Amino acid sequence: MAKRPPKPESTASSDDTINIHDQKLHRGAGGELHQFAEDGHDILTTSQGAPIADDQNSLRVGSRGPLLVDDFHFREKIFHFDHERIPERVVHARGYGAHGFFETYEALPDITCADVFQRAGETTPVFVRFSTVAGNKGSADLARDVRGFAVKMYTKEGNWDLVGNNIPVFFIQDAIKFPDLIHAAKQEPDRAFPQAQTAHDNFWDFISLTPESMNMVMWIMSDRTIPRSLRFMEGFGVHTFRFVNAEDKSTFVKFHWKPKLGLQSVAWNEAVKINGADPDFHRRDLWNAILSGNFPEWELAVQLFDQDFADSFDFDVLDPTKIIPEEILPVRPIGRLVLDRMPDNFFAETEQVAFMTQNVPPGIDFSNDPLLQGRNFSYLDTQLKRLGGPNFTHLPINTPKCPMHNFQQDGHMAMRNPVGRANYQPNSNGDGPRESPSRGYRHFPAEEQGQKVRLRPESFADHYSQARQFFISQTGAEQRHIAMALTFELSKVGNVAIRERMVSHLLNIDETLATTVAQKLGFQTLPKPTDAAMPTRQDLAPSPSLSIIERGPKRFEGRMLGILITDGVDAKLLTGLADAISKEKADFELIAPKVGGIIASDGTLIKAHHMIDGGPSVLFDAVALLTSATAIDDLMNEAAARDFVADAFQHCKYIGYDQSALPLLQKAGIADVLDKGVLPLPGEEGLSAFVAELGKLRVWGREPSVKLGKASPQPK
């Protein structure tokens, strides 16, 4: 029998110091014990009390190898994080989904044996869930945030979950830091705000101490995080994956979803007002598009490369904070995604859908990207917690649409069990399924070697070069927006030291950007640039593919024109404008002083979609003012009418007007500063040209000199 250990000798001192087994512990105000590290802070431990030597890196084989299952610290940290919320998702809580199909463009047996890519023209059912990341389930759609873009393909060889975002890079390089990132971004725990935004101390404190986040900072402070519509944003698989063919030949692959209607975002001031006018703006837009038959569509494009390219590329392809610019490695379209049906029940489908990065069919495999490997390990815990047990695949939205057989049984909410006597394998009864060496999933037989270490590879150490490349790839308007976003977010940070650290990082990205932000924040002098693990490269060329404006659609298709109308409106002009909009495959909505509608010049009653107080111009991509001389005086008394025009001008939108609306332009303060985006409506024969002009979407040249109410010169 083992001898019971002696009872620890405990001696209390005057400073509440306790000695236990020669360890000096300190008792806190609440009676809890503390053991301090060399810097005076508590020693970080596991939940079992084991001290942690490295909380920055997961355990892996060598510096670039796969993660190891015996990393108990990472396992515990992710396990606890995944179980923090019930039943709401910890991240991506606010989501909206739709059904559709994926159509393969061409057979790809040379690069992958995945069944979904074996027959040209074949369609595969899909369910897609879009989401914000930081906000809770009841937050608003237009928060400045990364958007989730998760696609579940119900292939003939099982479900394939391509769980991505609308941004191709991420904040961190190692999944062990994900709980810290989300804790910092979410509401501060002592006050439970701010909601669905990162403009607070905790987030920027973490970011300013995490140089690897700087490339992502440029992306999240850009207009990518305030998309005009879910239909007008890209999606990315983020990580490097593998295609594997029948001969076990591996090809690295990065996945891109390209919207057929082009990219488009809103202005920040516009986003704030949209959230007030319609916090369900993105949901409503997707719902209306699908219900009206204007099905959203994306192309699936891939960047394919081999090990030689990976070895010669300027950055490590396993680093999730980096991209491969499309100018260096063009994308190849291989299929299209069409969303054509809304869920029958939001909870049963959009809320209960379970995405997991590890859900892949044969022919698709993983790289050693440490963030991807961590996600593969984590997501099963997430679904177990959210959906109550191991049988969440029994829910219809998660059930594969191909045959499914195994010996898994019982458990919470089991809806099916194996049939027959034998519930194990091997068995001599001949019952149940058997493995198939020829058709079953085979992992790519990569060779791995190295020490078991917690280490970040040196090839991950350049944190500023691609951040600079992203910034210099933006147009002047987009660069202004990044500076404005950084200024706004950091202005909400109370700790001046955090602001200074961020400006120090920005100096390693672009000195003009850093100076602009520092001046706006009231800095008297610039801090020194942050010491960089690797100097910022100045030789990376701009990548136009990174700009939203440069890649704009150049057409108004899929957009919405807001038409402000009054009694006496020219009926023929209104009808002609509506026809021109329809021919452009766009849509329009009518705004009137009363939602009941107006009486047009020909005596007909025209119902409105919105009353002027409930249909602000922020809800539309462009506006037209169709009034009448008899009704303009009454409209001038509507403060909302003035705001309708002033906001459209401030947000650099195209404004069409008939001559009777000139007094309203005057009241809005823009009659004396009209530019090329404020257009008198032509006769019926010229309306098509007017609508074609709307395809430019915005007059960004107006933005630097918007001075509502003052006759200041405007760009022409």
pLDDT of residue 25: 59
Residue 673 pLDDT > 90: no
From the candidates 92, 256, 463, 610, which is the catalytic residue?
Answer: 92
Q: What is the pLDDT of residues 13-39, one digit of tens each?
A: 445 655 544 555 566 656 666 666 666
pLDDT of residue 589: 98
pLDDT of residue 31: 60
Spatial distance between the Cα atoms of 147 and 225, rounded to a whole number of angstroms: 7
CA 101 → CA 108, 121, 153, 295, 393, distances in Å? Answer: 19, 11, 8, 11, 20
Q: Which residue from 580, 575, 590 is spatially nearest to 693, judged by alpha carbons?
A: 580
CB 150 within 8 A of CB 97: no
pLDDT of residue 52: 85
CA 521 → CA 180, 230, 272, 496, 525, distances in Å? Answer: 27, 33, 21, 10, 11
CB 195 within 8 A of CB 135: yes
Spatial distance between the Cα atoms of 625 and 659, rounded to a whole number of angstroms: 9
392-406 in b/e form (b: 16+ CB < 10 A) is bbebebbebeeeeee
User: Tokens 């101390």 correspond to what residue?
Assistant: 201
Which residue type is seen at 489?
Answer: E
Residue 606 pLDDT > 50: yes
SS3 73: helix
pLDDT of residue 436: 87
Strand partners, 193: 188
Q: Note the pTM of the prediction, 2 decimals.
A: 0.90
Q: What is the pLDDT of residues 674-706, one digit of tens each?
A: 899 999 998 777 899 999 999 999 999 999 888
pLDDT of residue 413: 84
From the candidates 57, 159, 165, 398, which is the catalytic residue?
Answer: 165
Determine what percent of the chain is predicted with pLDDT higher than 70: 93
Residue 6 pLDDT > 50: no
User: Tokens 């991209």 correspond to what residue?
Assistant: 323
Q: Which residue from 540, 535, 368, 539 is spatially nearest to 462, judged by alpha carbons?
A: 535
Q: What is the pLDDT of residues 101-144, one digit of tens each?
A: 999 999 999 999 999 999 999 999 999 999 999 999 999 999 99
Query: For residues 417 and 253, which has the higher predicted lDDT (pLDDT)?
Result: 253
CA torsion 437→438→439→443, rounded to 10°? 60
Spatial distance between the Cα atoms of 342 and 179, rounded to a whole number of angstroms: 33
pLDDT of residue 24: 58
To the query of whether residue 73 is one of the catalytic residues in this protein, the response is no
- Identify the weakest region by mean pLDDT among 70-79, 625-634, 656-665: 70-79
Note the residue count of the chain: 716
Spatial distance between the Cα atoms of 572 and 578, rounded to a whole number of angstroms: 10
pLDDT of residue 39: 67
pLDDT of residue 494: 97
Instruction: Tell me the average pLDDT of the chain.
Output: 91
Lay out the sheet containing 17-20: strands in order across. Answer: 11-12, 17-20, 23-27, 33-34
Average confidence (pLDDT) over 628-646: 95
All domains of the chain, ordered by start, with CATH? 1-43 (no CATH), 76-193+226-394 (2.40.180.10), 560-705 (3.40.50.880)
How many C-beta atoms surround the C-beta of residue 260 within 10 A? 17
pLDDT of residue 80: 78
To the query of whether residue 92 is one of the catalytic residues in this protein, the response is yes
φ and ψ at 56, to 5 degrees?
-105, -20
User: Tokens 């490590």 correspond to what residue?
Assistant: 316
Q: What is the pLDDT of residues 437-454, one digit of tens each?
A: 888 898 999 999 999 999
Residue 11 pLDDT > 50: no
Q: What is the pLDDT of residues 471-509, one digit of tens each?
A: 999 999 999 999 999 999 999 999 999 999 999 999 999
CB 71 within 8 A of CB 54: no
